[in-house]
Amino acid sequence: MSLEALARLELGALSLDAALEVATGELVVLLGPNGAGKTTLLRALAVLLPLAEGRLVLDGTVLDDPGAGIRVPTERRPVGFVFQDYLLFPHLSVLENVAFGLRARGVAKGEARERAAGWLARVGLPDRAGDRPRALSGGQAQRVALARALATGPSLLLLDEPLAALDAGARAELRRELRRHLASYEGTRLLVTHDPMEAMTMADRLVVLEQGRVSQDGTPAEVSARPRSRYVADLVGLNLFRGTAGRGRVELPGGQALVSADGGDGEVFAVVHPRAVALHRRPPEGSPRNVWQGRPELLEVVGDRVRVRVVGPAPLVAEVTPGAAAELRLADGGLVWASVKATEVTVYPA
């Protein structure tokens, strides 16, 4: 019992081709850069956009299968949707907004209102029932939107960037609260975000979408330890290389090679943590197996570290202490040697 989706469609410049599975009760976060097709995929799941090809099965029921001519209309899907800007109906009171779905499904007015009031109490807004949506703060509107989507008892809850419309100051608090509300709902949940912090802290499982394709899928820990794209590597702050492995070496496209203690075979990814990169003004002596030369560029100060990009045959980011940065006179430019121990290079299949 779960969601199984294969969605293919073209929309403007975007070509979406994504397969996705979500188990019942699981909270999957769909993460990706802007324009990757996250919202498009979510809208396709709610059939607000038609699939060109693919198949969509929820709890064993086929909702969409263009090949077989099946397309259950939006209003008959057990799918709740929280829109990015919430889209609370401006002409209805908060209570009527939450009761809307129940009324549309034929629940009598009195009962619908009663149940809606119960939902408002659950999201902590029992006293705002009579207000118009425009009188609410962003965080309150988000909770009303969540209550409205959950009131109809959907088996699948879709959330499109539920925190993006809120100001940064309130976001951390509201993220905690959203996580709590989502935890109390037992259905299948799929949340879209471009905020890695939100993704890492909320997800049972992360699905990374880039240019309409799923580039990575796994728990937040797996994804951040073994990025499979430049986008994810940059998010988690790792140096990512792709090359061909053999006899303890990873040959990179530029002719450079990385020596790794991991070994590996065939097409592989290799990651190096910036803190594992040492910088020198003279060719280093001793055991480091990977040494290359490049021009240093100061990037930024993160906590007690200075991030430095070494521009050379294989660009690399290093993190050094401010003391080391001053001692090496990195701000002066010139050439530096970067070294990485073979034990610090993690290799995994591409």
Partner 1 sequence: MRRRHRAVGPPEAAAGTRRTPAAFAVPAAVAVAFLLLPLAGLVRETPWSSIGTELASPAVRSALRLSVVCSVGALALSALVGVPLAFLLARSDFPGKHLVRALTTLPMVLPPVVGGVALLLAFGRKGIAGAWLERAFGITLPFTTLGAVLAEAFVAMPFLVIATEAGLRAMDRRFEDAAATLGAGRWTTFRRVTLPIVAPSLGAGAALCWARALGEFGATITFAGNLPGTTQTMPLAVYLALESDTDAAIALSLVLLAVSLVVLVVLRDRWFPTA
- What minimum distance in Å lies between the beta carbon of 11 and partner 1? 15
Max distance between CA atoms of the chain, in angstroms, equals 81
Question: How far apart, in whole angstroms, are the C-alpha atoms of residue 277 and residue 270?
Answer: 14
Closer residue to partner 1 in complex, CB, 101/312: 101
Count of CB atoms situated within 10 Å of the CB of 127: 10
- What minimum distance in Å lies between the beta carbon of 91 and partner 1? 4
- Which two structure tokens, joined as six digits, stand for 323? 């003391």
Buried b (16+ CB within 10 A) or exposed e, 288-310: bbbebebebeeeeeeeebbbbbb
Closer residue to partner 1 in complex, CB, 133/312: 133
Closer residue to partner 1 in complex, CB, 100/269: 100
Angle 203-195-176 from CA coordinates, rounded to 5°: 55
Closer residue to partner 1 in complex, CB, 79/271: 79
- What minimum distance in Å lies between the beta carbon of 56 and partner 1? 15
Closer residue to partner 1 in complex, CB, 185/348: 185
Q: Which residues bind partner 1 (CB under 8 A)?
A: 43, 46, 48, 73-77, 79-81, 83, 87, 89-92, 100-101, 103-105, 148-149, 152
Q: Is 166 helix (H, G, I), strand (E, B) or coil?
A: coil
Nearest to 25 by CA among 150, 122, 145, 156: 156
Buried b (16+ CB within 10 A) or exposed e, 116-126: beebbebbebe
Question: How far apart, in whole angstroms, are the C-alpha atoms of residue 124 and residue 141?
Answer: 12
- Which two structure tokens, joined as six digits, stand for 245? 């492995």
Closer residue to partner 1 in complex, CB, 147/258: 147
Closer residue to partner 1 in complex, CB, 155/290: 155
Question: How far apart, in whole angstroms, are the C-alpha atoms of residue 165 and residue 82?
Answer: 12
Question: How far apart, in whole angstroms, are the C-alpha atoms of residue 151 and residue 155?
Answer: 11
- What minimum distance in Å lies between the beta carbon of 35 and partner 1? 18
- Which two structure tokens, joined as six digits, stand for 82? 């929280």
Closer residue to partner 1 in complex, CB, 103/307: 103
43 neighbors 83 (Cβ within 8 angstroms): no
- What minimum distance in Å lies between the beta carbon of 138 and partner 1? 17
- What minimum distance in Å lies between the beta carbon of 150 and partner 1? 11
- What minimum distance in Å lies between the beta carbon of 291 and partner 1? 56
- What minimum distance in Å lies between the beta carbon of 205 and partner 1? 24
- What minimum distance in Å lies between the beta carbon of 293 and partner 1? 54
Please, which residues have CB within 8 angstroms of residue 308's CB and are 6 or more apart in sequence?
279, 296, 297, 298, 299, 317, 318, 319, 320, 325, 330
Closer residue to partner 1 in complex, CB, 160/319: 160
